[in-house]
Amino acid sequence: MTKLAPLVDQFQRRITYLRMSMTDRCDLRCAYCMPERMTFLPRKDVLSLEELHDLALGFIDRGITKLRLTGGEPLVRRDMMELVHALGRKIGDGLEELTLTTNGTRLSEFADDLFAFGVRRINVSLDTLDRETFTRLARRDSLPQVLEGLAAAKAAGLKVKLNTVALKGVNEDHIADVVAWAHGQGFDATLIEVMPLGEVEEDRFDHYLPLVAVRDSLEKRWSLSPSDHRSGGPARYFDVAETGGRLGLITPLTNNFCDGCNRIRVTATGQLYACLGGNERVDLRAALRSEDPEAALSEALDVAMRIKPARHHFVIEEPGAAPALSRHMSMTGG
Ligand code: SAM
Ligand code: SF4
């Protein structure tokens, strides 16, 4: 079989990293991510297990080497582990890494299988270790399950990175505790600035906390030294002398990280978004359901490479402003 052309965009960036959303549904309702009464997509619009599988293989044929399964909450999708099992077989055969981003509520059930099917690293979102704050923020009292899930992941041998969204007046006083705890567990920790994606009840401006401020406050307690470590993503890393751990900072708003972008995202309905911060998209579901799916998919991916923008343009600079984009992060999974 002739080797298919790798994915290279109009700015000569080689695209090797795909984030695929398994579902837009979730068992939590993090206040910065989605409203309590979120309208979810009709199930018929969501790609079937076979379609997700074919899509992933199509991407691997075009040079995607790193695949992250995300959501919504990927582990609430019933046939999720079948897909992990099937895609795990591609590791070492085109795919270098299969990873997952999860809120952790169901990890105690699935951690062993994830490891058995070839997953080695996962990202788990945890914004606070304080049960009351967790319950207020996620609108569900699920911290104990998440902590059980994290213990199961560690016991299964999965390498864990905790992701924490920094929120003014919500968890800003808990961030150091999360980082210290993560490092104590042998987990990496990464902080993220809140992004203006999708309508939620609150004004994100009220809770936007630039990470330069968080870094200043952490430096009063710890010595942070810039690390050479790179994960191929937008995070910049620091070694924390006192905890012996690594801290990543993702600053989409105060810093632009687009020049080295190597990633694209596909929603659970098969919409490829060329940029997290833009509306440029290609309908891969239509390609998959066409008469010649292989050719149509390849053509759609070529179009995606031509429309991927140079950079995102979102800002949170005034109170009451509408979100930069109407779609929620739960569509594209971060
Ligand atoms: N449910 C899974 C989870 O929470 O890890 C996967 C999907 S979730 C959309 C992926 C990541 O996006 C999480 O770390 C979450 O905290 C983050 N996130 C959601 N909405 C965000 C927003 N508006 N700004 C910044 N990060 C956001
Ligand atoms: Fe669900 Fe993740 Fe969004 Fe929280 S951040 S509501 S866990 S999708």
| Contact in structure between 160 and 124 (CB atoms under 8 Å) | yes
Give the end-to-end CA distance of the chain in Å, rounded to a whole number. 34
Question: Whole-angstrom Cα distance, residue 311 to residue 276?
Answer: 9
Span of 1-15, 149-163, 207-221 with lowest mean pLDDT? 1-15
pLDDT digits (tens, 9 = 90+) for 16-30: 999 999 999 999 999
For β-strands 66-70 and 263-266, DSSP reports them as unpaired
Kindly give the distance from the C-alpha atom of residue 29 to the centroid of ligand 2, in angstroms, as a whole number: 6
Instruction: With a cut of 70, say whether residue 300 has pLDDT above it.
Output: yes
Question: Whole-angstrom Cα distance, residue 103 to residue 99?
Answer: 14
pTM score: 0.94
Ligand number nearest to the C-alpha of 167: 1
Which amino acid makes up residue 197? L
Q: In this predicted structure, what is the pLDDT of residue 280?
A: 86
Instruction: With a cut of 80, say whether residue 78 has pLDDT above it.
Output: yes
**What's the token pair of residue 258?**
């687009």
Span of 49-63, 167-181, 222-236 with lowest mean pLDDT? 222-236
> Residue with the nearest Cα to atom 4 of ligand 2?
30
- Please tell me whether 208 is known to bind a ligand: no
pLDDT band at 170 (very low <50, low <70, confident <90, very high): very high
Q: Pocket of ligand 1, candidates 68, 76, 101, 202: which has the most ligand atoms within 8 Å of its Cβ, to mutate? A: 101
pLDDT digits (tens, 9 = 90+) for 274-285: 888 788 899 999
What's the CA dihedral at 143, 145, 150, 156 to 10 degrees? Answer: 180
| Contact in structure between 328 and 273 (CB atoms under 8 Å) | no
Residue 325's SS3 state is strand
Q: In this predicted structure, what is the pLDDT of residue 36?
A: 92
**What's the token pair of residue 295?**
């050719």
Span of 108-122, 131-145, 269-283 with lowest mean pLDDT? 269-283
User: Which of 48-62 are b and which e, b meaning 16 or more Cβ less than 10 Å from the residue's Cβ?
Assistant: eeebbbbbbbbbbbb
* Polymer length in residues for the chain: 334
Q: In this predicted structure, what is the pLDDT of residue 322?
A: 64
Kindly give the distance from the C-alpha atom of residue 28 to the centroid of ligand 2, in angstroms, as a whole number: 6
pLDDT band at 251 (very low <50, low <70, confident <90, very high): confident
Question: Whole-angstrom Cα distance, residue 33 to residue 35?
Answer: 7
Strands (E), the chain: 17-21, 66-70, 97-102, 121-125, 159-166, 188-193, 224-226, 236-240, 245-250, 263-266, 271-273, 281-283
Residue 159's SS3 state is strand
DSSP 8-state secondary structure symbol assigned to residue 75 = G
Ligand 2 atom closest to Cα of 71? 8
Residue 180's SS3 state is helix
| 141-145 mean pLDDT | 98
Span of 52-56, 225-229, 268-272 with lowest mean pLDDT? 225-229
pLDDT digits (tens, 9 = 90+) for 93-105: 999 999 999 999 9
Nearest alpha-carbon partner for 314 in 326, 325, 306, 327: 325
Q: In this predicted structure, what is the pLDDT of residue 317?
A: 57
Ligand 1 atom closest to Cα of 28? 1
Domains of the chain: 17-332 (3.20.20.70)
| Contact in structure between 86 and 55 (CB atoms under 8 Å) | no
pLDDT band at 4 (very low <50, low <70, confident <90, very high): confident
Q: Pocket around ligand 2: residues whose beta carbon is below 6 Å from it?
A: 26, 28-30, 33-34, 71-73, 103, 125, 330
Q: In this predicted structure, what is the pLDDT of residue 275?
A: 86
Kindly give the distance from the C-alpha atom of residue 51 to the centroid of ligand 2, in angstroms, as a whole number: 24
Ligand 2 atom closest to Cα of 73? 8
Q: In this predicted structure, what is the pLDDT of residue 278?
A: 81
Whether the CB of 26 sits within 6 Å of ligand 1: yes
The Cα angle at residue 268 between residues 69 and 94, in degrees rounded to 5 = 45
Instruction: With a cut of 70, say whether residue 321 has pLDDT above it.
Output: no
pLDDT band at 295 (very low <50, low <70, confident <90, very high): very high
Whether the CB of 146 sits within 6 Å of ligand 1: no
pLDDT band at 2 (very low <50, low <70, confident <90, very high): low
Helix H or strand E segment including 14: none
Nearest alpha-carbon partner for 29 in 124, 140, 104: 140
- For 85-107, the DSSP string reads HHHHTTBTTTBSEEEEEE-STTH
Q: In this predicted structure, what is the pLDDT of residue 235?
A: 85
Half-sphere exposure of 111 (CA within 13 A, CB side): 26
| 108-132 mean pLDDT | 98
Kindly give the distance from the C-alpha atom of residue 234 to the centroid of ligand 2, in angstroms, as a whole number: 20
Ligand 2 atom closest to Cα of 328? 3
